[in-house]
Structure 1
Amino acid sequence: MAVADHSPPPFFKRGPTPLVRLVFYASLALTILVVDLRFHVLEWVRHGIEVATYPLQLLAYAPVQGLEEGGGYLAGVVKLQQENQQLRKQQLQTANLLLRQEHLEQENQRLRSLLDMQQRQPVAGQIAEILYAARDPFSRRVIINRGSQHDVGTGQIVVDEFGVVGQITRVYPLLSELTLITDKDQAVPVQIVRNGLRAVLFGSGDGNLELRFLDVNADVQEGDAVVTSGLDGIYLPGLPVATVKQVRREASYAFARILCEPIAGVERHDMVLILGRREAPPPPPTGWEDGSKEPPVGKHRE
């Protein structure tokens, strides 16, 4: 019985041994490295491989680049939001400063106007600030920051840079009550500038004024300027008070209804000028100025 041959058929022969192949390929690699290092023969091969693999490099780096750009975008958004918030705060602070500056400029202009009004009047005056309105909602009265400690007394006239505002009606040590000319219980002796017609101007209680007790045929026209007449001995003559706004003449009534609009900022301003008391004129000479009981020679008692 013949012995079976167990050697692999020629089709399955593996060729050289792995050790031989390792030595061959290692030698080939070293040879290629030395030749390329010496003569640069594989430079074009590397360029070709680099060009061929560049899209693969971009595709492989795309997720990392996307994460980096996304993180940078989010960081930029947060930074922009913080800068926007800081700019808004600075804008609000700047707006506050601008508003305060504008308010100070307006107040400075009004103070200059009030001082100019004081210089035009023959009496002394002092500037006061309106603090708040009186408790009575049906009256036109306000409280100012000047009182008896500041030589303020009842009856003194209060004006602004345009005209008459009102009259001091109650005095406290540090505060005073100012009744506006638009109050329904306030009356001012006035005259028409155009023709010198004298009348009495009353407050209507709703922010307007009214000339009362004038005949239907009184020479009063719309647009006439109304100033103080000074006949009461309290108001200085010639202070601007109002402008005639409307004249109603009805034959069924004995008096005309004449509505006026105050010239001064009666219910708008916060700074006013308190005029000093009007000094009474000196009495006429009597002939006894030297203190003697008898009149001088040439003068007789009436």
Structure 2
Amino acid sequence: MNPIFKHGPSAQHRLVLVLCCSMLLIFFDHKLQSFDSVRGYLQSMVSPLQYIANAPKQMMNWAVENLATRKQLIKENQQFKSQQLLFNEQAIQLDILRRENSRLRSLLASPVRPQVKKMVAEILAVDTDPYSHQILINKGLNDDVYEGQPVIDDLGVVGQVLHAGATNSRILLISDVSHAIPLRIKRNGVRLIASGSGNIRRLIVNHVAHSTDIEEGDILVTSGLGGKFPEGYPVAQVTYVQKDETRAFAQVIAEPIAQIDRLRYMLLLWPEPVEEFASPQTATEDK
């Protein structure tokens, strides 16, 4: 029985034919550049597919680059804020030292201000009780924080450590009604005591005699008495003075210099222990 359709060329013949056609096309394309326009059309048709295929990779690269840049910017911003806080605190100390040097010229027996250790802390939470001005920071006993430790910001005194936990601590702000701090007037050195009023923008200066030389605009700084706060750090500025002779004491109100309602970063201070050197007599006795 004869087949209806005859078989075509064999596979070997087809392969040879295809190879010959390919060689001819390569030759004409290389020598005569006959397919440049065709190649351009084909490339134009394929280019959208190439863009679509590369789109996921480009999106991933863009996302990774932007996330890395954002994280780096946030980290650098935090470092700059910490450095600014340290520099401002050093500027405060330089002003204190300059004033002390002028006093040391007239009083050679005046003690030299000891160096202090400093650490930057960040606020974790603010106490929601309206009658208690306390905040929580991210430093604790593991960072050598202790109760009663002074806390400042880049402008002045903020408060002191009330309770120290392992990894965080509670700070009692100077505006709290239970807080009191010994001060002196920067202009004339008169010693005073200020307590919190429950208002973050107001301190009450207690037991001020009518004869005390105090004026509106005077800067109140720490006196160093009590041993908790180093001497000379700014605390408040006098905003109101009323000397009514019908009262036992003058009424004096001051405003904290530190921006207590805008705190984010602050400094913890450690007084460095003074190195004790053995006297020649003690050294001779030991021998």
TM-score of Structure 1 vs Structure 2, range by shorter chain: 0.5 to 0.7
State the alpha-carbon separation in 1 of the partners of residues 125 and 276 from structure 2.
39
Match of 2:271 among 277, 285, 289: 277
CA RMSD, Structure 1 to Structure 2 (Å): 3.0
Instruction: Say which one has the larger Rg.
Output: 1
- Superposed CA deviations along residues 145-191 of structure 1, whole A, max 9, x for unmatched, are 11101111111111111111110010010110001111111111110
Could you say which structure has the greater relative contact order, defined with CA pairs below 8 angstroms and 6 or more residues apart? 2
Q: What corresponds to 1:115 in structure 2? A: 86
3-state DSSP of counterpart to 1:290: helix
- Superposed CA deviations along residues 10-53 of structure 1, whole A, max 9, x for unmatched, are xxxxxxxxxxxxxxxxxxxxxxxxxxxxxxxxxxxxxxxxxxxx
3-state DSSP of counterpart to 1:177: strand
Match of 1:189 among 161, 182, 198: 182
State the alpha-carbon separation in 2 of the partners of residues 227 and 292 from structure 1.
45
User: Is the contact between residue 194 and residue 204 of structure 2 (CA under 8 Å) also seen in structure 1?
Assistant: yes
Percent identity between the two aligned chains: 35
State the alpha-carbon separation in 1 of the partners of residues 178 and 243 from structure 2.
24
User: Is the contact between residue 201 and residue 209 of structure 1 (CA under 8 Å) also seen in structure 2?
Assistant: yes
3-state DSSP of counterpart to 1:238: coil
Q: What corresponds to 2:191 in structure 1? A: 198
Q: Which amino acid aligns with 1:115?
A: L
TM-score by length of structure 1 reads 0.58
1:232 aligns with 2:226: yes
Q: What corresponds to 2:21 in structure 1? A: none
Q: Structure 1 residues 220 and 107 mapped into 2: Cα distance closer, same or farther (>3 Å)?
A: farther
Q: Which amino acid aligns with 1:192?
A: I
- Superposed CA deviations along residues 194-216 of structure 1, whole A, max 9, x for unmatched, are 11101111111111111111102
Alignment of 1:27-106 (within 5 A): none
Deviation at 1:240, TM superposition (A): 0.6
User: Is the contact between residue 152 and residue 171 of structure 1 (CA under 8 Å) also seen in structure 2?
Assistant: yes
Deviation at 1:291, TM superposition (A): 7.1
Q: Structure 1 residues 287 and 189 mapped into 2: Cα distance closer, same or farther (>3 Å)?
A: farther
Q: What corresponds to 1:174 in structure 2? A: 167
Q: What corresponds to 2:241 in structure 1? A: 247
TM-score by length of structure 2 reads 0.61
- Superposed CA deviations along residues 237-283 of structure 1, whole A, max 9, x for unmatched, are 11011100001111111111110001111221211111113536859
User: Is the contact between residue 210 and residue 260 of structure 1 (CA under 8 Å) also seen in structure 2?
Assistant: yes
User: Is the contact between residue 124 and residue 276 of structure 1 (CA under 8 Å) also seen in structure 2?
Assistant: yes
3-state DSSP of counterpart to 2:87: helix
Aligned residues: 195
Alignment of 1:146-161 (within 5 A): 146-161=139-154
1:134 aligns with 2:105: no
State the alpha-carbon separation in 1 of the partners of residues 206 and 196 from structure 2.
10
State the alpha-carbon separation in 2 of the partners of residues 252 and 268 from structure 1.
39
Name structure 2 gaps, 5 residues minimum: 1-68, 94-114
Give the 4+ runs in structure 1 shifted more than 6 A.
Answer: 103-106
Q: Which amino acid aligns with 2:193?
A: V
Q: Structure 1 residues 290 and 213 mapped into 2: Cα distance closer, same or farther (>3 Å)?
A: same
State the alpha-carbon separation in 1 of the partners of residues 244 and 78 from structure 2.
45
Q: Structure 1 residues 137 and 215 mapped into 2: Cα distance closer, same or farther (>3 Å)?
A: same
3-state DSSP of counterpart to 1:261: strand
